[in-house]
Amino acid sequence: MAIGFRVDFLWYQVGTPDFLHALFSTICYNLESKKWGDKYPYLMNELYQGKLSWKNADKVIEELKEVKSKFKNFSPSQVIWDIGDISKQPPWGDKISPEITDLSNYFVTSDGRDLIEIMLMALNDSISEKTDIEIINI
C-alpha cells in the first residue's frame, strides 16, 4: 500500500503509511511537548488527520518550514518511527545514506525526493488551485 498527498488531480507520492507516520511521530516527540499538535496544530491535527482546507495551507507551510529548520539540530538517530512505541526502529535500522546528516534531510520519499519539500509543493499547489489537500492510500 502506498500513501501520498492529493490536490485535485495532482498526486504527490510519499511511500508507506508507516513512513509518513514516522515523520509526524518525530515531530511530536522531538519538537512538541510529546503531545500531538501542541506546537503545530494545523500540521498535526488537520493535515495529518487526512484533509486540510486550502485556506489553512499557508499556516502548515509556516509550521513545516519551522520543523525543517529545527530538525537540523537533531541527528538521524533521533528519528521516532512510531510515537505509540518509541522502541520501534525503521526497517533499515541505522543503515542510511551518508548524505543524510540530520533529521531535516532524513525523510526521503519512495521515489527519492525530500518529503518535506514535496509537502511544501503540494501545499503551495493547494493554495494556487484553491483545492483542499488530502492524504490518500492507494
pLDDT digits (tens, 9 = 90+) for 64-76: 999 999 999 999 9
Q: What is the pLDDT of residues 78-88, one digit of tens each?
A: 999 999 999 99
Q: How many domains does the chain have?
A: 1
Residue 118 is part of which domain span? 17-130
> Number of C-alpha atoms within 13 angstroms, CB side, residue 28?
23
Identify whether 72 is part of a domain: yes
Flag whether the pTM goes above 0.75. yes
Identify whether 123 is part of a domain: yes
Identify whether 4 is part of a domain: no
Identify whether 137 is part of a domain: no
Identify whether 102 is part of a domain: yes
Identify whether 84 is part of a domain: yes
Compute the average pLDDT of residues 94-107.
Answer: 92
Identify whether 3 is part of a domain: no
CA torsion sign for 71, 77, 79, 80 is: negative
Identify whether 85 is part of a domain: yes
pLDDT of residue 34: 80
